């Protein structure tokens, strides 16, 4: 038998990103302050590189303007700055970021409720596929495992971290989600399309076998399991659809173009204009354009929020941890249909019993 295969270490995952829910239990000032200064997955981490690059650019232009330009050049530069500055609102960043972020988050909120939890399948398999025999046990385990296998195959196609973990079908088999003879069976069907539907077919066959061998008692019970599998599969389809039909490239391009152009122009227009007699002479020369830095952090941060949620199946700190989900589904599913199978505490009166 295959029992000589060493137990694979499948329960590895990236350290969980900071879940601030617990910290935000109360919305009091101190809690909020603490949250503001987290680093991992934070605003600061997201924008600091861009900010440094921008500051370097700003400094170079600033030094040129203050030290190397002739008076005529300075005048030209100042008039150029004035011209642009008055027209910066041609790019309404607040509008486009607000609406873009809005639609991205809505899509993201919908997506993550479709990732698929095995719990209901395991519950119904455990409740409806009976029998303590080894074979019944294996059927139960396999139904759950095949569902997780399909989920893994779908996630491999759309999720970068899952792909990295399972670059080939062999690696899926090596992790134990698939057995070698199942991989062979899987490869025996040729198709130019993704074949994640195959293991669902296997589960249906297992249900038929289980019914024939009297582990499942009647059509009703079999159907109840099949319904749960159908729901699970439908949510996987939605997940693939979301990947297949992304928000058109133009939209994120548009938003990125707007933000980047805006701050590129700021390198020129947000200089402190210091020449006596300049029409747009700045009231004060602070050297560091801290108001624009705040603006930069704000808008680029807002853009980053949208960009991270645009593709939640990547490897950013806040992306869905689908590897964890696969592990969890497998572990819980197997425990539910095997370890905990048939397990029920003795029926005793509870304490509220009048």
List binders of a copy of itself among 286-345 (CB under 8 A).
286, 291-292, 294-295, 297-298, 301-302, 304-305, 307-311, 313-316, 318, 320, 328, 330-332, 334-336, 338-345
Is residue 209 a contact partner of residue 123, using CB atoms and an 8 Å limit?
Answer: no
> 63 or 254, CB closer to a copy of itself?
254
Q: Minimum distance between the CB of residue 60 and a copy of itself, rounded to whole angstroms? A: 18
Closest CA to 129 of 256, 39, 225: 225
Q: Minimum distance between the CB of residue 152 and a copy of itself, rounded to whole angstroms? A: 14
> 21 or 168, CB closer to a copy of itself?
21
> 165 or 222, CB closer to a copy of itself?
222
Hey, what are 171's tokens? 């690696």
Question: Chain-centre distance of CA 144, in angstroms?
Answer: 24
Residue 109 and residue 227: Cα distance in Å, rounded? 25
Q: Minimum distance between the CB of residue 214 and a copy of itself, rounded to whole angstroms? A: 15
Hey, what are 189's tokens? 């069907």
Query: By CB under 8 A, what part of segment 121-160 binds a copy of itself?
Result: 122-124, 126-128, 130, 134-135, 138-139, 141-142, 145, 158, 160
Q: Minimum distance between the CB of residue 66 and a copy of itself, rounded to whole angstroms? A: 18
SS3 129: strand
Q: Minimum distance between the CB of residue 322 and a copy of itself, rounded to whole angstroms? A: 11
Residue 16 and residue 40: Cα distance in Å, rounded? 10
Tokens 């919305």 locate to 27
Q: Minimum distance between the CB of residue 1 and a copy of itself, rounded to whole angstroms? A: 6
List of residues 6+ apart from 123 with CB closer than 8 A? 228, 336
Query: By CB under 8 A, what part of segment 245-264 binds a copy of itself?
Result: 245-254, 256-258, 260-261
Q: Minimum distance between the CB of residue 151 and a copy of itself, rounded to whole angstroms? A: 14
Q: Minimum distance between the CB of residue 219 and a copy of itself, rounded to whole angstroms? A: 4
Residue of 15, 67, 72, 351 that binds a copy of itself (CB under 8 A): 351
Residue 345 and residue 92: Cα distance in Å, rounded? 63
Site map 91..110 versus a copy of itself, x via CB under 8 A: xx-xxxxxx-xxx-xxx-xx
> 60 or 180, CB closer to a copy of itself?
180
Angle made by CA atoms 310, 313, 316, in degrees to the nearest 5 = 80
| CB-CB neighbours of 208 under 10 Å | 12
> 60 or 217, CB closer to a copy of itself?
217
Residue of 55, 69, 120, 274 that binds a copy of itself (CB under 8 A): 120
SS3 216: strand
- Give how many residues touch a copy of itself by CB under 8 A: 181
Query: By CB under 8 A, what part of segment 159-198 binds a copy of itself?
Result: 160, 176, 179, 181-182, 185, 189, 191-193, 197-198
Q: Minimum distance between the CB of residue 187 and a copy of itself, rounded to whole angstroms? A: 12
Query: By CB under 8 A, what part of segment 31-90 binds a copy of itself?
Result: 32, 35-36, 38, 41-43, 46, 49-50, 53, 76, 79-80, 82-84, 87, 90
Is residue 161 a contact partner of residue 322, using CB atoms and an 8 Å limit?
Answer: yes
Beta bridge partners of 334: none
Q: Minimum distance between the CB of residue 73 and a copy of itself, rounded to whole angstroms? A: 13
Residue of 147, 153, 206, 326 that binds a copy of itself (CB under 8 A): 206
Query: By CB under 8 A, what part of segment 3-32 binds a copy of itself?
Result: 3, 5, 7-8, 11, 17-22, 24-29, 32
Alpha helices, DSSP H only, in the chain? 29-36, 43-63, 71-85, 93-112, 119-128, 134-158, 160-165, 169-174, 180-188, 197-212, 219-244, 250-269, 290-310, 322-334
Give buried/exposed letters for 142-172 (b at 16+ CB in 10 A, else e): bbbbbbbbbbbbbbbebbbbbeebbeebeeb
């Amino acid at each position: 038998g295959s029992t000589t295969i060493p137990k694979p270490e499948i329960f590895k995952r990236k350290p969980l990103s900071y879940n601030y829910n617990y910290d935000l239990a109360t919305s009091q000032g101190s809690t909020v302050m603490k949250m503001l200064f987290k680093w991992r997955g934070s605003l600061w981490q997201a924008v600091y590189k861009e900010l440094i690059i921008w500051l370097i650019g700003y400094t170079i232009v600033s030094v040129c303007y203050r030290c190397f330009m002739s008076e005529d050049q300075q005048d030209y530069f100042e008039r150029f700055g004035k011209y642009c500055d008055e027209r910066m609102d041609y790019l309404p960043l607040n509008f486009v970021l607000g609406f873009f972020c809005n639609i991205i988050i809505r899509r993201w909120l919908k997506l993550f409720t479709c990732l698929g939890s095995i719990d209901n399948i395991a519950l119904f398999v455990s409740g409806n596929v009976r029998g303590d025999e080894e074979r019944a046990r294996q059927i139960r385990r396999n139904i759950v495992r095949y569902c997780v296998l399909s989920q893994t195959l779908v996630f491999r196609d759309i999720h970068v971290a899952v792909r990295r973990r399972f670059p080939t079908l062999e690696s899926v088999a090596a992790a134990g989600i698939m057995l070698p003879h199942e991989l062979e069976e899987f490869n025996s069907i040729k198709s130019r399309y993704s074949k994640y539907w195959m293991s669902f077919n296997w589960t249906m066959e297992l249900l038929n076998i289980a019914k024939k061998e009297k582990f499942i008692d009647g059509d009703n019970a079999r159907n109840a399991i099949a319904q749960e599998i159908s729901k699970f599969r439908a949510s996987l389809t939605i997940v693939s659809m979301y990947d297949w039909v992304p928000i058109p490239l133009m939209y994120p391009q548009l938003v990125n173009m707007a933000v980047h152009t805006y701050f590129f122009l700021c390198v020129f227009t947000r200089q402190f204009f210091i020449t006596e007699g300049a029409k747009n002479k700045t009231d004060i020369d602070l050297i560091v354009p801290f108001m624009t830095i705040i603006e930069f952090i704000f808008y680029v941060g807002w853009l980053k929020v949208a960009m991270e949620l645009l593709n939640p199946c990547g490897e950013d700190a806040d992306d869905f941890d689908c590897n964890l989900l696969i592990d969890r589904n497998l572990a819980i599913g197997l425990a539910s249909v095997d370890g905990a199978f048939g397990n029920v505490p003795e029926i005793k009166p509870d304490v509220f019993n009048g």
